[in-house]
Chains A and B, each alone.
Chain A
Amino acid sequence: MTSISPIQSSSDLIRALGGTRIVADYLGVGAPAISNYRKNGFPARVRLQLAELCAERGLAVAPHVLGVTLATQDENWRRQAPLMTADQGMDLLERAGYQPCVTSILQPADPFIELMGEEMRRRLFTFSDPRGDTLCLRPDLTIPTARAYIEAEAFTPQYLCYAGTAFRYQPRGAGKPEEFTQIGLEILNGQDRKADEQNILISLFDVLSELGVDRFTVTVNDLDLFSAILWDLELSPRQHKRLMRGYAHGSAFDTALDAVVSPPARPTRDFTLSDDDMIAGRTAAEIKARYDAKLTAAEQAPLAPARADQLRAFAQLACPVDHLQQAIVDLGLPCGASTQAALEAIDQRAAFLRERLASEDLVFAAGRGRKLAYYTGFMFEINVAALGPRQVIASGGRYDGLLRALGAPGDLPAVGAALALERVREAAQKS
């Protein structure tokens, strides 16, 4: 028999005790906490408990694993408030009328790849099952919840809430966990858009408050405002659609602007196929119609380069909501009827938010939220600046196209929000 050498790291000890789940249950904490322990070592308050368990099991542990405090360890671990559990948030949401909805961690990858947009696509943990289907670990709980709603096939108005672990790849050294807890709420096929949005916001604020976070800023954005600005510029439908698509996908906006400023010349080509011929899934008639539409569009006036610069500047705009109208005027964009109407809609939401926030804490940022491709229209983020790169503690918005894209029969309104529990805890400690 060889003698067993003492366990040298927190990660090895967690493994020796039976893995993340077992240790999490034993200590009464969530799985993400255990994953932090693996990286950063054990905080002082769990060491005694673990030392007792190791003694019971006869495990030999090197002194530094449970004894000496590591110099790199964050001071906060020792000052941490009693751990709050996801249950607190869920209890509150249930009392507010939201039904808990449980979804699987393991999800088919396609809906996420197709609907979450490029930024999130890169964060997805995907793998193949033995049958060859591509699966993923859920990167958020909105799409799984929406899928569960559609599978139930009732399509009645529903108030749903959830809590669970989500997984997103982070480059090494990014300082963000790849595994975190989301608590969220959704109103699917709700009947009163304005009331539903307010309900989501009030409930989210209540949960945050329950978890100890009362001081934060809210950043809002609204795709409808950009669309309205384009209407007031009286672009052709093609130009409008092109810019809208580029804007919604962030990274493609510059390409779209360039194409609208200097549309490529259209050479004419002979086309000898008859209308019902199929070429790779498209009929000759369809191709011909689009081709003709393009020729007509080529005669339309391109966007002036100065206008393109104004739109580019708008895409970067960030200012207090109170100054939004002035900021748009300052950029030199016409504030026509459509823009006025969109601003008014933003103002109405702002009026509601101002009951809870100082006006300087309510900010408009055209660049926010656009990376999550399923948002349509209004979206928001809750920020706690003290957290630096992790300052977005919750976010949400409208995603009226999502249910249809996932297979619902028609456009059903949807609005929701989710918070990242670990960040909320961190924010609670700092406030």
Chain B
Amino acid sequence: MTERLSLAVPSKGRLEEQVNALFAAADVPLQRDGSRGYRGQLKGLLEVDLIYLSASEIATRLGEGAIHLGVTGEDLIREEIPDVESRVVLLQELGFGHANVVVAIPDAWIDVTHMADLAEVAGDFRQRHGHRLRVATKYIQLTQDFFATHGITDYTIVQSFGATEGAPSSGAAEAIVDITSTGATLVANQLRVPEDGVILKSQANLAASLEANWSSGVRDTAWQLFYRLEAYLRAQKQVEICFPLARGDHSWLHDMMSQTQAHALHDMETERAETARLLVHANRLPEISQKLHQRGKSIVSAQPASRIFSAESELFATLSARLPH
């Protein structure tokens, strides 16, 4: 039984660069053994085995329990792992690697604006054209699930290993399911996404395998990793604000904080503090500062935090809730 935590990250491309940047910013830089090696370490967390794999293999290994943690696209996790909900936990969306998995049909099929239209076209396709409607894709599982929820059963999947968007014009298929980030490739191939044809809005995720062996040593290492990652991620979303406190402000402050999910950094117990220091969500900052203006604080300053450490790891809590005790 190993006491080491295995973490898999993408071995090449844009995704590798973005994962590198994230871990470096979170004070656990990835150190690859040679620029094309398939092993490595996390500086500052030597109990982690770093493994470089292709993005789809990371998904497969998560499903098998061959690795504890992995960074890869949600699209691949949902495609590659049958019964995914019981085997893998998506812990954290990482804010990069955005791509939508979509259905696309020829733009000239002006009668098809919704999946319901595609269901009807598929329904008589064989009778009219001698074969079932063909859908080219590498996302077989996602396609089957999505088509089923739209009641489409009369179709065949043509497995595609690349350049899927060319299938309708080459005559290999009538429709496709593929990923797109800007939609430009679809337009260039005279394809269009039906209005309700987005299957999944995917991005890179930190995911944990429930099939892996989570010994207590491995859990401790995971906690250490999450602790660092979250300190950085939290600091991306929250800012610190300061303002003077007047007599009688304290109960008002309590209410305001619970309404806006803010955290106090000053002493709230003794009600002696003269300056309030709060951590607030950056996207609620205008709302909060205006509440403060109404209370007579005409100036509120805000500073970005570089790290926000918390004694409680939310990622660890999410993971432990799904692991046997």
A binds B: yes
B148 with A118: CB separation less than 8 A: yes
Indicate whether B18 reaches chain A with its CB closer than 8 angstroms.
no
Q: How far is the CB of B106 from chain A (nearest CB, A)?
A: 4
Tell me which of B111-119, B231-239, B252-260, B281-289 binds A: B111-119
CA distance A59 to B203 in the complex (A): 56
Indicate whether A341 reaches chain B with its CB closer than 8 angstroms.
no
Indicate whether B153 reaches chain A with its CB closer than 8 angstroms.
yes
Indicate whether A307 reaches chain B with its CB closer than 8 angstroms.
no
0 or 1 for each of A284-295: is its CB under 8 Å from B? (1 = yes): 101110110010
A264 with B195: CB separation less than 8 A: yes
Indicate whether B216 reaches chain A with its CB closer than 8 angstroms.
no
CA distance A118 to B149 in the complex (A): 9
A306: chain B residues within 8 A (beta carbon) = none
A256 with B114: CB separation less than 8 A: no
B174 with A281: CB separation less than 8 A: yes
CA distance A373 to B168 in the complex (A): 28
B109 with A118: CB separation less than 8 A: no
Q: How far is the CB of B58 from chain A (nearest CB, A)?
A: 23
Residue on B with the closest CB to A291?
B111
Residue on A with the closest CB to B113?
A264
0 or 1 for each of B86-106: is its CB under 8 Å from A? (1 = yes): 100000000000000000011
Indicate whether A266 reaches chain B with its CB closer than 8 angstroms.
yes
Q: A264-B195, A280-B106 are in contact. Are A259 and B153 (CB under 8 A)?
A: no
Q: How far is the CB of A286 from chain B (nearest CB, A)?
A: 7
A114 with B132: CB separation less than 8 A: yes
A280 with B148: CB separation less than 8 A: no
Within 8 A of A (CB), among B54-84: 83
0 or 1 for each of A239-253: is its CB under 8 Å from B? (1 = yes): 001100110010111
Q: Quick one: which of A117, A249, A266 has the most chain B CB within 10 A?
A: A249
A279 with B109: CB separation less than 8 A: yes
A280 with B109: CB separation less than 8 A: yes
A241: chain B residues within 8 A (beta carbon) = 120, 123
Indicate whether B121 reaches chain A with its CB closer than 8 angstroms.
yes
A259 with B114: CB separation less than 8 A: yes
B83 with A171: CB separation less than 8 A: yes
Indicate whether A53 reaches chain B with its CB closer than 8 angstroms.
no
B86: chain A residues within 8 A (beta carbon) = 171
Indicate whether A255 reaches chain B with its CB closer than 8 angstroms.
yes
Q: How far is the CB of A103 from chain B (nearest CB, A)?
A: 23
B148 with A245: CB separation less than 8 A: no
Q: A245-B123, A256-B151, A281-B129 are in contact. Are A118 and B144 (CB under 8 A)?
A: yes
Q: A118-B153, A279-B109 are in contact. Are A264 and B114 (CB under 8 A)?
A: yes
Q: How far is the CB of B254 from chain A (nearest CB, A)?
A: 44
Q: A121-B144, A282-B129 are in contact. Are A255 and B106 (CB under 8 A)?
A: no
* Total A residues in contact with B, Cβ cutoff 8 Å: 35
Indicate whether B110 reaches chain A with its CB closer than 8 angstroms.
yes
CA distance A259 to B115 in the complex (A): 10
Q: A121-B144, A259-B116, A264-B114 are in contact. Are A282 and B149 (CB under 8 A)?
A: no
A280 with B168: CB separation less than 8 A: yes
Residue on A with the closest CB to B109?
A287
CA distance A329 to B106 in the complex (A): 46
Q: A114-B132, A280-B174, A281-B129 are in contact. Are A252 and B110 (CB under 8 A)?
A: no
CA distance A291 to B117 in the complex (A): 10
B114: chain A residues within 8 A (beta carbon) = 259, 264
Within 8 A of A (CB), among B278-312: none
* CB < 8 Å neighbour of A273 from B108, B123, B168: B108
Indicate whether B201 reaches chain A with its CB closer than 8 angstroms.
no
Indicate whether B325 reaches chain A with its CB closer than 8 angstroms.
no
B120: chain A residues within 8 A (beta carbon) = 241-242, 290
A249 with B151: CB separation less than 8 A: yes
Indicate whether B128 reaches chain A with its CB closer than 8 angstroms.
yes
Q: A171-B83, A281-B129, A282-B129 are in contact. Are A251 and B111 (CB under 8 A)?
A: no
Q: Quick one: which of A114, A259, A282, A284 has the most chain B CB within 10 A?
A: A282
Q: How far is the CB of B147 from chain A (nearest CB, A)?
A: 9
0 or 1 for each of A384-410: is its CB under 8 Å from B? (1 = yes): 000000000000000000000000000
CA distance A110 to B157 in the complex (A): 10
0 or 1 for each of A159-173: is its CB under 8 Å from B? (1 = yes): 000000000000100
Q: How far is the CB of A310 from chain B (nearest CB, A)?
A: 20
A266 with B129: CB separation less than 8 A: no
Indicate whether B150 reaches chain A with its CB closer than 8 angstroms.
yes
Within 8 A of B (CB), among A283-319: 284, 286-288, 290-291, 294
Q: How far is the CB of A287 from chain B (nearest CB, A)?
A: 5
A287 with B111: CB separation less than 8 A: yes
Known: A118-B153, A252-B148. 14 other contacts (CB 8 A): A114-B154, A118-B144, A242-B120, A249-B148, A252-B152, A255-B150, A266-B113, A267-B113, A280-B109, A280-B168, A280-B169, A280-B173, A291-B111, A294-B111
Residue ranges of B at the interface with A (Cβ–Cβ < 8 Å): 83, 86, 105-106, 108-111, 113-117, 119-121, 123, 125, 128-129, 132, 144, 148-154, 156, 168-169, 171, 173-175, 195
Residue ranges of A at the interface with B (Cβ–Cβ < 8 Å): 110, 114, 117-118, 121, 171, 241-242, 245-246, 249, 251-253, 255-256, 259, 264, 266-267, 269, 271, 273, 279-282, 284, 286-288, 290-291, 294, 373
List of 10 A-B pairs having minimum Cβ-Cβ separation, nearest first: A252-B151, A291-B111, A290-B111, A118-B148, A279-B108, A280-B168, A249-B151, A280-B106, A280-B174, A269-B110
